[in-house]
Amino acid sequence: HLVHGACETEDDVDFDKCNLIDLSDQVLTGICSRIGLDMVEHVLPTIVDDEDDNNSNGGEGTKEYTHEQFAMGAEECIMVEAEMERLAVEDPAELERMERE
């Protein structure tokens, strides 16, 4: 069933023929969910510049994000996960402190 060159899951990403941008928003969101971050609540607001907030539908309501922003968010979550794994090995006390905050 696996098509040669399929790019549907994080495991398919090789940064050559398959990049994060090639995955669906659902898969990208799942990358953040597995480390306990909500893509729309926690990640995207910190990386997306809200300069156009003033003139968007009254400021309230659901903000729409682009596929490119979801890919950036997933990349951010992968970096956070790598840092957490590094701390777990090098400085478990620091990791514990960060998780409490």
| pLDDT (tens digit per residue) in 1-48 | 344 558 899 999 988 889 999 999 999 999 999 999 999 999 999 988
The pLDDT assigned to 11 comes to 92
pLDDT at 51 over 70: no
Q: How many helices (H) and strands (E) does the chain have?
A: 4, 0
Please state, in angstroms and rounded to a whole number, the distance separating the CA atoms of residues 43 and 32. 8
- Prediction pTM value: 0.76
Please state, in angstroms and rounded to a whole number, the distance separating the CA atoms of residues 93 and 21. 35
The pLDDT assigned to 5 comes to 57
Q: What does residue 17 show for φ and ψ, rounded to 5 degrees? A: -90, -15
